[in-house]
Structure 1
Amino acid sequence: MIWRGTSLRTRLFALILTPLVLMAILLGYWRYTTAQETSEELFDRTLLSAALAISRDVAISDGDALLPSTRDLIEDVSGGEVFYHATGPGGIYITGYAYPPALPGGSADEGYAPRFFEATYRGERVRVLSVTERITMDNLTADATVTVWQRLADRQAFAIELAIRLVAVMVALLVTLALVVWFGVERGLRPLLDLQDAISIRSPNDLSEIRRPVPVEVQGIVRTLNRLFGQVEESIRAQQVFISDAAHQLRNPAAAVQSMAEAVRDAPTMADRDLRTAELVNAARASARVADQLLSLERLKQPVTQTAPVEYDLRALVQEICADIGPSVLSRGIEFELVAPDQAIPVCGDRFFVAEAIKNLIDNALKHGGDGLSAISVHCACDEVAARVTVADDGKGLSPEQRDAAFGRFSQVEPSDGSGLGLAIALSVAEHHGGSLVIDQVDKGASLTLTMEYDP
């Protein structure tokens, strides 16, 4: 959600720099603590060097003065001023600042090892080193103690200065990297922008493939766009063919309805008018039937129908259809038989369109069975994976080799009064429900089987 409406350039910029900034913060914190530890160690060594140098000078000069090199060391030491205090045998003051920081607890009996500690000197926290050595002065050998100390604030300032230098370098690197990323991403995305410009100048009727060279990462998008363009172009072509075929198929029924309406108007007698009125009604029904079939076929071309799939009993549906159509078939002197199992056959789908497909199979047998048609049978069955409805007749016959002509829209194997849409609709219904419609190989007549997924 936070990326909605954000440019790809900004996303890449944030995705690349965010972890780097976080890493820089962690690295800066680690480097600051390391600088503190390093400065403590360096300053402690400096204090030790200063203490040993002062102790040496006290021994050499018999406590009179410090050598110039030692003074230079104390004055030039990094990190701030160093204070010192030296005492000779018996604790006699020799040189340095008076009143040095006292050892913690006042104990001085710790041998000759250097002793580091922190204390307060003139209201400031200091780091103190006390060193005791045995020296000889005026033929007298005794212990001399040198105490040196330094302000902790000076050490902190030195550590902060080191950290600031590091931060400055890291900030400079991050800024440089940010500029490189920002303008580098812009340059890297230039092929996408060029592709956008190339597509934007196309006319609405130009659905040809994109042949512009693009980076490997974008080739998948271009292939998808080309496939989409092809599908849209095919869909537009199918729509145009459909509109053309529909106009052609509806023109004849419309002309027939108009002609019969004029004949009814001009009928010389009431008997002629009644006859022509009945013909007009039949023509209007045929025209409405063609329009309904066209609408059904168009709806079936969509990925899903408007009606949500529901579970229903296919056997009950077939029985209901046969009960409605049976009297009309029997009235024409044609035997009509339904063979169905005793148990229900649950399937899932659009009940309305499945009923339309089964009706079309029966209507196809009636219209294309020919003069020799004497019997139509409807078989409903299922197995573990599929449910089947087979409509068979003993008419002219239909072979699997005639599939293209039989299942094509507005096409027929032989001329008849049908619209050529019935089997095309049945095939679309079968495919829409994950099934199939096949022409069975039989010795006599025609047999078509509609198969759908079984939902036990």
Structure 2
Amino acid sequence: MIAGLIRARSLRTRLFVMILLPLIVVAAASSVVLHWLARDMSRSLYDDTLKVVAHTVAREAVLTKGDLVTDSLLDSLVGALGDPIYYRVHADEGYFLVGHSDAPQPDRDLDLPGGVPVFFDADYHGEPVRAVVLREFISDPDFDGWTTVQVWQTVTQRQALSMTMLAQSATVLMLLLIAAAALVWFGIRRGLAPLTDLRAAMALRHTNDLRPIRRPVPREAEPLVRTINNLFQRLTAELERRNSFISNAAHQLRNPVAAIQAQAEAARDSHALTDRAERLQDLTEATRRLSRMSQQLLRFDAANEGRADRDTPPADLVRLVADVARRHVPAALRARVEIEYDGPDGPLYVQGDPVLIEEAIDNLIDNALRYGCPPDSHLQLRVESRFGMGVLTVADEGPGIPAESSEKVFERFVRLSPVEDGGCGLGLSIVRAIAKGVGGSARILPAERGCTLRFSLPLRAAPQAAAGSGGKDSSRQFADRFM
């Protein structure tokens, strides 16, 4: 139960238990110590009284010349001590004078120095007793010499006194513990009041209110508040990005949807078969553009959400470039563009999701073939390792990109070409988002002719299964099979 309270979700309860639990342990230990002290004090008090009784019995025996102690004196002693008192008096050389002959015997031989009382515990008729032996030298005609007096008493009242003192001490400790618990609970509530006020203030906020927390908090809570503020800042940036993306996407999708609607209505109202066929062809083309734009939007969003995952296997940049380039060979042949590849013979492993990296490579090659490769030109693909990064460089021989637009082309929905070719201005944005998601980069390099774009990803160690494999898609094999 205590472990459950310590693991409780309530910080107030955990603090209360963790503060009060040591106090309970200290109180229990104090009760044990107080019990020992009460027992020792009770024994000391009763032993001193028993020693006085021994002296009294000795004097009474001398005065009465060996007669029994008077009943009145014995009753007074018993009334003062509470337990029955027994005694025995021996003269010098062990001569029995008066008292009880069956006195309790100690467990071992006692050293009895003169004038010094010696105490021991024993049993008398089945009951525990406390006894004292006192030897005194008496100068008297009838008792000339050493006289030994032994007095014993049951310990019931001693134990009762010890328990009474223990109960009183335990009661005081319990009251103190209850008072401490109340004060601790009050102190915790007051101490956690700033956090409670912070919770109440946060509960009153609107769901879209992501302003930083400015309320003063204890020093120990400042790191938590800073972390929450950083989270609010990231959430604000993400919401702004999402809202901007949704707004731009809605704007970009409005025209294709309107075009599809117009083409569909025109095809419906057209009576000539030739005119209807043309309208249906335009409708098919508009649908294709809308489909491509939708796919690009989804891929862009996935690229922005993607993050480096060290648990995923590394991606082979050489193989991915070769696979994507193969798919574009037919389009390159139709456009009379020659694709040239230069890269390592073996694999080059990089960090990132192979699907997203393949999408980035596809966008780079597709953009180059669309906008940077006039007929009878070359498209250069180079894969290499540079400063811990796997690098793909795509160079074309087209009109190039002005220096002032080298960063603008990576923004969403930015298109430098005024020609309607089905593009939506998301290709390079997707490329940069994929690269940044794993700690890489995508940028345009200065070039005398055409456009040169460098796509970089962090290198990864080769997996065990592929460590010894050779260059499966070497530059020579790629050129021999597809050029």
TM-score bracket relative to the smaller structure = 0.7 to 0.9
Matched residue, 1:204: 207
The alignment covers a number of residue pairs equal to: 453
What letter matches 1:332 in structure 2? A
Residue 250 of structure 2 aligns with which residue? Answer: 247
Verify the 8 A CA contact 1:309 1:350 in the aligned structure 2. yes
What's the counterpart of residue 437 of structure 1? 442
Q: Could you report, residue by residue, the CA deviation over 1:272-293 in whole angstroms, capped at 9, with x for unpaired residues?
A: 5555544433332221111111
Q: Does the 8 Å contact 1:367/1:416 carry over to 2?
A: no
- Candidates 362, 365, 368, aligned match of 1:362: 365
The secondary structure found in structure 1 opposite 2:120 is strand
Q: Report what 1:421 is aligned to.
A: 426
The range that moved more, 431-440 or 392-401, is: 392-401
2:442 partner letter = L
Instruction: Identify if the C-alpha distance between structure 1 residues 235 and 384 changes in structure 2 by more than 3 Å, giving closer, same or farther.
Output: closer
Letter in 1 for 2:448: D
Residue aligning to 1:236: 239
Paired residue for 1:143?
Answer: 146
Aligned with 1:445: secondary structure? coil
How far does residue 349 in structure 1 lie from its aligned partner after superposition?
A: 3.0
Distance 1:73 1:427, change over 3 A: farther
Q: Is 2:341–2:380's contact at 8 Å kept on the other side of the alignment?
A: yes
Q: Residue deviations 1:39-81, cap 9 Å, x none? A: 43454344334434544565677667989xx989956866755
Measured in 1, the distance between the counterparts of 2:153 and 2:143 equals 31
**Cα drift, residue 209 of structure 1:** 2.9
TM-score (norm 1): 0.86
Provide the C-alpha distance between the structure 1 equivalents of 2:94 and 2:357, rounded to a whole number of angstroms: 115
**Contact 1:59–1:136 (CA<8 Å) still a contact in 2?**
no
- Relative to structure 1, the CA distance from residue 302 to residue 83 in structure 2 (aligned partners, 3 Å threshold; closer, same or farther) is farther
Matched, 1:450 2:452: no
- 2:7 counterpart of 1:2: no
Q: Partner residue of 1:128?
A: 131
Q: Which moved more, 1:416-425 or 1:53-62?
A: 53-62
Closer/same/farther in 2, CA of residues 310 and 277 from structure 1, 3 Å limit: farther
Query: C-alpha displacement at 1:122, in angstroms?
Result: 4.0
Alignment of 1:146-185 (within 5 A): 146-185=149-188
- Listed as ranges, the matches of 1:342-353 within 5 Å are 342-353=345-356
Point out which structure has higher relative CO (alpha carbons under 8 A, 6+ apart): 2
Q: Is this contact kept in 1: 2:337–2:375, CA < 8 A?
A: no
Q: Spell out the pairing of 1:380-395 with structure 2 (5 A cutoff).
A: 380-382=383-385, 385-395=388-398
Provide, for residues 358-393 of structure 1, a one-character-per-residue CA deviation record: whole Å limited to 9, x for no partner.
111122223332758822111122357322211111
Instruction: Kindly indicate whether the alpha-carbon contact (under 8 Å) linking 1:398 and 1:447 is maintained by their aligned counterparts in 2.
Output: no
Look up the equivalent residue of 1:410 and give its one-letter code: F
Conservation of the 8 A alpha-carbon contact between 2:133 and 2:151: yes
Report the alpha carbon displacement of residue 25 of structure 1 after superposing the two structures with TM: 1.4
Counterpart residue identity of residue 203, structure 2: S
Given residue 101 of structure 2, which amino acid in structure 1 is its aligned partner?
Y
* Deviations 1:177-213, CA, capped at 9 Å, x for gaps: 1111122222222222222222222333333333333
Are 1:280 and 2:277 matched, yes or no? no
Greater Cα offset, 148-157 or 113-122: 113-122
How far apart, CA to CA, are the structure 1 residues paired with 2:139 and 2:96? Answer: 16
Helix, strand or coil for the counterpart of 2:217?
coil
- One-letter code aligned to 1:128: A
Deviations 1:324-361 (A, max 9, x none): 01210221122221223211223353222111111111
Q: Relative to structure 1, is the Cα distance of residues 378 and 226 closer, same or farther in structure 2, using a 3 angstrom cutoff? A: same
Number of the residue aligned with 1:103: 105
Q: Does the aligned pair in 1 maintain the 2:307–2:438 contact within 8 Å?
A: no
Shift of 1:91: 4.8
Q: What is the aligned partner in structure 2 of residue 86 from structure 1?
A: 89
Question: How many angstroms apart in 1 are the aligned matches of 2:308 and 2:298?
Answer: 12
Question: What percentage of residue pairs aligned between the two structures are identical?
Answer: 35
Segments of structure 1 that go 5 or more residues without pairing to the other structure are none
Task: Give the secondary-structure state (helix, strand or coil) at the position aligned to 1:160.
Answer: helix
Q: CA RMSD in A?
A: 3.5
SS in 1 for 2:336: coil
Q: Distance in 1 between matches of 2:103 and 2:241?
A: 100
Q: 1:238 to 1:78 in 2, by over 3 A?
A: farther
TM-score (norm 2): 0.81
State the match for 2:334 in structure 1: 331
Alpha-carbon shift at residue 140 of structure 1 (Å): 5.6
Q: What runs of 5+ residues in structure 2 fail to find an aligned partner? A: 462-483
**Contact 1:83–1:149 (CA<8 Å) still a contact in 2?**
yes
